[in-house]
Amino acid sequence: MTALSRMANGTHKKVNIKAGDVVILSSTPILGNEKAVARVINEVSRKHAKISFQDTHVSGHACGEEIKLIYTLASPKYAIPIHGEYRHRLEAASLVESVGVKKEICIMFE
């Protein structure tokens, strides 16, 4: 929402919302943020952009099958799980091994 807020008020460094643009909101506001979200929606509307509410919310993180696919396609020289808490990285390392990537090339940092 922070980036969209900057786009709506014209202070984003790279994106400007203009008339005819479509802004898709793919999640519901966090409780307590409804007024701030409404302000951003109003700012977008003042720019004559269309607001579309769609049930397309995703986490933005790859699921296990996607991680396995990437490692299978990439055939990496090294695998270094870096995103998430340690337990998430351990799970990613396990997924890497499950597609035949050798355990020795998977580097884990504490």
Pair 19, 47: CB distance under 8 Å? yes
**pTM for the predicted model, two decimal places:** 0.53
Which domain range does residue 78 map to? 64-105
Q: Are residues 48 and 85 in the same domain?
A: no
As for how many domains the chain has, the answer is 2
Q: Who contacts 74 (Cβ-Cβ below 8 Å, separation ≥6)?
A: none
Residue 42 lies in a domain: yes
Q: Are residues 10 and 41 in the same domain?
A: yes
Q: What is the pLDDT of residues 61-85, one digit of tens each?
A: 788 898 899 989 988 889 988 888 9
Closest CA relative to residue 25, chosen from 47, 6, 46, 4: 4
pLDDT for res 58: 67
Q: Are residues 70 and 43 in the same domain?
A: no
